[in-house]
């Protein structure tokens, strides 16, 4: 493939696919719209500091486990007939969610774990990862788009020259953090922002048979953290709540967020949020509570559930 000029960072295309066998690279087929994608090798460099004639190295070092990382953001968007956008549905399964129709929930069963292959084309060059899994954070300011920020680890695929493929991502509109409700212990609160970080611990699964010594990546632990800023009020007021009492007693409460576009609705359900950190704050002259809550399991693998439906 002839190179006639510089590669432009704006000319990027990303495609993903669920792997049938974790770690076995497949060509990405599901196109999706992403923002600020960065894909780089993360393999460690091993020095070979043997003895010799010089004060510095004379024996070349080697590259260790052939790992890579990919970070990017995607909009929370629906698909056809009350579904999540297909690319987003694939990514959530690589970040610790089990899909059952259009319900995505945390789980603790390794056989439900999914890995993905992804490819990113930059003008005339392609980079990729296999056996990838990772972390996702949902969030944004109220009234703005909800963004899903991904940090994926996988087996590094050496870049190759390849022309940009056909690209036809979903055109459904993004879902804003509006036209819905936020409830804490069944009471509606006005919040200024919402952030849910899944807190996944992602590790290499070692294997002699794996490329670069890695079979694939997997999630071994998870502590989802919810950060919100409800308006402060008197504890016994109809608009108030004893957040400090919940924090001191370690009382978990049910929390939910419902957001919608004209055609799609997404619900986040967290049945047992326990306050870990609390402090007072200010939002344009209004007193607020800065809350960081840990999403615990309640009656099964239900720490976090995301449900897509038609509006």
How distant is the alpha carbon of residue 146 from its chain centre? 12
So what's the pLDDT on residue 236?
82
Q: How crowded is residue 288: how many other Cβ atoms within 10 Å of its Cβ? A: 20
| Residue-level pLDDT at 4 | 65
Which tokens in the block code for residue 286?
């209004």
| pLDDT-based confidence at residue 124 (cuts at 50, 70, 90) | confident
Over residues 76-89, mean pLDDT: 90
For residue 223, give every residue at least 6 positions away whose Cβ sits within 8 Å of its Cβ, in sequence order, or none: 199, 294
Q: Where is pLDDT greater, at 9 or 144?
A: 144
Whether the CB-CB separation of 140 and 62 falls below 8 Å is answered with: no
Cβ-Cβ contacts under 8 Å for 18 (sequence gap 6 or more): 90, 93, 94, 114, 115, 116
pLDDT above 90 for 255: yes
Rounded to whole angstroms, the Cα distance separating 86 from 170 reads: 8
- pLDDT tier at 135, thresholds 50, 70, 90: very high
Exposed e or buried b for every residue in 144-167, given b needs 16+ CB within 10 A?
ebbbbbbebbbbbbeeeeeeeeee
> Quick one: average pLDDT of 217-235?
95
Residue 52 CA to its chain's centroid (Å): 48
CB 182, CB 128: distance < 8 Å: no
In 3D space, the residue among 205, 257, 204, 180 whose CA is nearest the CA of residue 226 turns out to be 257
Predicted TM-score (pTM) of the model is 0.94
The mean predicted confidence, pLDDT, of the chain is 93
Residue count (the chain): 311
Is the pLDDT at 154 greater than 80? The verdict is yes
Q: What is the mean pLDDT of residues 279-302?
A: 95
pLDDT of res. 158: 93
DSSP reduced 3-state for 171: coil
Strand duo 30-31 + 116-122: pairing: unpaired
CA 260 to chain centroid, in Å, comes to 20
Q: Is the pLDDT of residue 2 over 70?
A: no
What pLDDT is stored for residue 82 in this prediction?
84
pLDDT score of 10 more than 90: no
Query: What six digits make up the tokens of 135?
Result: 């972390």
pLDDT for the residue 1: 53
**Model pLDDT for residues 27-59, shown as the tens digit of each residue:** 999 999 999 999 999 999 999 888 888 888 888
pLDDT the model gives residue 262: 85
Token digits for 17? 């696919």
| pLDDT for residue 237 | 81
Report the distance separating Cα 65 and Cα 310, nearest Å: 44
Highest mean pLDDT among 51-65, 129-143, 160-174: 129-143
């Amino acid at each position: 493939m002839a190179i006639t000029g510089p590669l432009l960072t704006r000319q990027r295309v990303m495609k993903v696919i669920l792997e049938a066998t974790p770690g076995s690279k497949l060509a990405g087929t599901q196109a999706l719209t992403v923002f600020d994608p960065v894909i780089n090798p993360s393999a460690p460099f091993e020095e070979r500091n043997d003895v010799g004639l010089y004060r510095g190295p004379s024996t070349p070092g080697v590259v260790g486990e052939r790992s890579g990382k990919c970070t990017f953001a995607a909009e929370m968007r629906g698909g056809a007939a009350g579904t999540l956008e297909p690319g987003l549905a694939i990514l959530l399964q690589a970040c610790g969610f089990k899909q059952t129709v259009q319900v995505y929930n945390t789980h603790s069963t390794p056989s439900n774990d999914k890995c993905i292959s992804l490819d990113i084309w930059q003008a005339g060059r392609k980079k990729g990862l296999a056996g990838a899994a990772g972390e996702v954070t949902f969030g944004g300011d109220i009234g703005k788009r909800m963004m899903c920020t991904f940090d994926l680890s996988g087996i590094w695929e050496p870049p190759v020259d390849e022309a940009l493929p056909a690209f036809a991502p979903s055109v459904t509109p993004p879902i804003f953090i509006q036209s819905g409700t936020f409830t804490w212990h069944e009471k509606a609160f006005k919040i200024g922002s919402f952030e849910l970080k899944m807190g996944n611990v992602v590790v290499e699964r070692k294997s002699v048979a794996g490329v670069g010594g890695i079979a694939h990546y997997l999630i071994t632990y998870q502590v989802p953290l919810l950060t919100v800023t409800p308006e402060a009020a008197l504890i016994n007021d109809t608009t108030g709540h004893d957040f400090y009492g919940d924090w001191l007693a370690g009382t978990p409460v049910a929390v939910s967020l419902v957001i919608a576009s004209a055609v799609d609705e997404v619900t986040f359900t967290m049945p047992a949020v326990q306050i870990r950190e609390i402090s007072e704050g200010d939002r344009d002259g209004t007193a607020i509570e800065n809350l960081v809550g840990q999403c615990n399991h309640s009656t099964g693998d239900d720490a976090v559930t995301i449900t897509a439906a038609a509006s």
